[in-house]
Amino acid sequence: MFGGQVVPPSNSPHLRKSGSRPVVFDLDGEQGNTEMEGLLHSTESDDLKIPSLPISTAAIMPSPILLWRFKVLLFFLWGFFCCKIGWDSVMRMSVNLRDLFLYEAFLYYNPLLLVTMMVWLWGVNLWVFAQSTISYAKIFDLDQNHLTHREIWKVATWMTIIVPISMTAYLYLYSHGEVSLAASQPVFLYCAVALILIFPFDIFYLSSRYYLLRTLWRIVFPLQAITFSDFFLADILTSMSKVFSDLERSVCRMVHRQVATIAWFEADSVCGSHSIGIPIILVLPYIFRLFQCLRQYKDTKEKTALFNALKYSTAVPVIFVSALKYHVLPDSWTNFYRPLWLLSGVLNSLYSFYWDVTRDWDLSCFTRIFKFNKPSLCSHLLHGRKWVYFWVIGSNFILRLAWTYKLSAHLRHNYLTVFTITALEMIRRFQWVFFRVENEWTKMSSKSNLQLSEISSEEDKLLAPSNHNV
């Protein structure tokens, strides 16, 4: 039964303040008395405070699943509006200028779109490593503040939003006659990316940004012993040589004020397709990797490093012989330089394919792919399955041959085909990362086990009883 108002005695130290609400409780049972005392103590603990009941924030916050679905819905709506505005802007132009306009717009933005794709794929790599026993932080010598796959995906999400918005603004402004404003869009985007990378304050993942910049510096100037992260990132940069080539052409047009114009299309333009800067930028990642191999041979005296350097040197004739098409007579190109280009391309592709399978992956005999420490979809699909190796080896062979097409400067006019081949090269490198990192982890584990066994054998020798007679 519920009781009524309780009036404490006049000498009670727990008197209520005037105007406060009466306390109602159950007079029957000790539980009611205990609750009454607790409530009285809580209300009288501080005369300056008015008692208030806490409101549960969980009751007013939406569930994480609902928030996630809402974000996905907003993302698709944003993508639809960007595509709709971009398509309508392109359709406003005349048919004879439309393809040329798309080619120029694509040139400015496809490098950052490809980088965004690579960031997404790198996040997937890290997610798979997190499911396995591979400690990628130990392999790359990362500190405890390194980015996880969730943070990588967060960065990729913002890149996925910002780059298409800038591209849509460029298309819309140009098609509506605001040429100067349209020309400023890629310039502003490139400057913003550069500033974020070098921003010295502790925001935007400062330690990770500076780790990336330090590694790039070590790649360009290999004046020290080569670490795994140095040549790992340098190998990824060879797959992004098209990105750097387009960046060079874009920056060239920005410097010479040729954005949103057709001046670059003229034969004497310094930013045209015949520019010598295109093959130079294309070959730089391979030259950096070549110098790394020579430095590694200097430090270790291993002949394997020289053979690896020879592999990267085979990309040089593919790039420069292709670029000669703009500087030689058509008959000379058809009769001599084109067969030479085809021969050098086949040699580079086969050599690189052989090195991937036998050296980088150590798949001369089928081993395992990942030792997962907890069951997941990837472990169920990939662990110990032979079709995985057949798929990876076969796709690597085909995409290695296709990569020769992309390295050829005289085949760059079909920008959609080149973009597709470059995206496929990103996927090939994404597959390569799994096997390369696992192979390195296997070597590190084997070396650690060998050292432990040697230490154990030495301890056994020291602790063994001696048989000397006194």
Question: 182, 173 in Cβ contact below 8 A?
Answer: yes
Both tokens of 394, joined, read 């076969």
User: How far is 236 from 432, CA to CA, in rounded Å?
Assistant: 10
pLDDT of residue 426: 93
- The SS3 call for residue 295 is helix
pLDDT for 410: 57
Contacting residues for 132 by C-beta, under 8 A, at least 6 apart: 370, 371, 372, 373
Q: 31-35, 116-120, 196-200 — which is least confidently predicted?
A: 31-35
Q: What is the Cα–Cα distance from 296 to 262, expressed in whole angstroms?
A: 46
Instruction: Output the pLDDT for position 443.
Output: 86
Residue 430 pLDDT grade (very low, low, confident, very high; cuts 50, 70, 90): very high
Mean pLDDT of 327-348: 89
Least confident of 46-50, 229-233, 401-405: 46-50
Give the per-residue pLDDT at 4. 46
Asked whether 328 and 337 are in contact (CB, 8 A), the reply is: yes
DSSP character at residue 89 = H
Please tell me whether residue 341 adopts helix, strand or coil conformation: helix
Confidence of residue 102 (pLDDT cuts 50, 70, 90): confident
Split at pLDDT 50, 70, 90, the class of 131 is confident
> Average pLDDT of 120-136?
90
Indicate if the pLDDT at residue 103 is higher than 90.
no
Q: Confidence class of residue 82 from pLDDT cuts 50, 70 and 90?
A: very high
pLDDT tens digits, 241-265: 989 988 998 998 898 888 887 666 6
- Reported as a single tens digit per residue, the pLDDT across 320-333 is 998 888 888 888 98
Band of pLDDT at residue 197, cut at 50, 70 and 90: very high
* CA distance linking residue 232 with residue 250, whole number of Å: 27
Q: What are phi and psi of 141, to 5 degrees?
A: 55, 55
State whether the Cα torsion 199-107-114-67 is positive or negative: positive
Task: Over range 52-56, report the average pLDDT.
Answer: 49
Amino acid at 422: T
Better-scored residue on pLDDT, 157 or 28: 157
d(CA 343, CA 434): 31
User: Of residues 445 and 15, which shows the higher confidence score?
Assistant: 445
Handedness of CA 172, 173, 179, 182 (dihedral sign): negative
The listed range with the strongest mean pLDDT (141-145, 177-181, 444-448) is 177-181
What is the pTM (predicted TM-score) of this model? 0.80
> Tell me, what's the pLDDT at 348?
92
Where does the pLDDT of residue 409 fall: very low under 50, low under 70, confident under 90, or very high at 90 and above? Answer: low
- Burial (CB count <10 Å: 0-12, 13-18, 19+), residue 307: middle
Length of the chain: 470
pLDDT at 46: 47
